[in-house]
Amino acid sequence: MAARRSDDPEPLGSFSQPAGPPVPGTAVCLSCGEPRITRIRMRTPSGIPAVFVSCPRCEKNAWFAVDGDGEPLTAADIGPVG
Ligand SMILES: [Zn+2]
């Protein structure tokens, strides 16, 4: 049995914005309006600095460019996955 360590980088219940200014479009789920969505600051597979958001309520996933205008990135923007 593997030892479980409690060193998760994002404590449960802490869904505040990543460091830096808020990224447009990531305040709530764009599909159902759920505010308690998971936000992960990372690059898209195509290399764009972005925030990946995942909704625990409707399971909608989306990417928003860090310097974007609140519109979710398209599949073409994101690039090939996998
Ligand atoms: Zn949702």
Give pLDDT tens digits for 15-73. Answer: 454 556 789 999 999 999 999 999 999 999 999 999 999 999 999 999 999 999 999 99
Q: How far is the CA of 1 from the centre of ligand 1 (A)?
A: 35
Domain ranges of the chain: 38-78
> 10 pLDDT exceeds 60?
no
Give the dihedral of Cα atoms 57, 59, 60, 62; nearest 10 deg: 110
Rounded CA-CA distance 5/73 in Å is 35
Q: How far is the CA of 44 from the centre of ligand 1 (A)?
A: 20
Q: How far is the CA of 30 from the centre of ligand 1 (A)?
A: 7
Q: How far is the CA of 47 from the centre of ligand 1 (A)?
A: 25
Among candidate residues 21, 79, 31, 75, the one with its CA nearest the CA of residue 55: 31
The residue written with tokens 């759920």 in the block is 34
Q: How far is the CA of 52 from the centre of ligand 1 (A)?
A: 13
Pairing mode of beta strands 61-65, 38-43? unpaired
Contacts of 32 by beta carbon, 8 Å cutoff, 6+ apart: 55, 57, 58, 60
Q: How far is the CA of 29 from the centre of ligand 1 (A)?
A: 5
> 82 pLDDT exceeds 60?
yes
For the record, the structure tokens of 11 come out as 């404590």
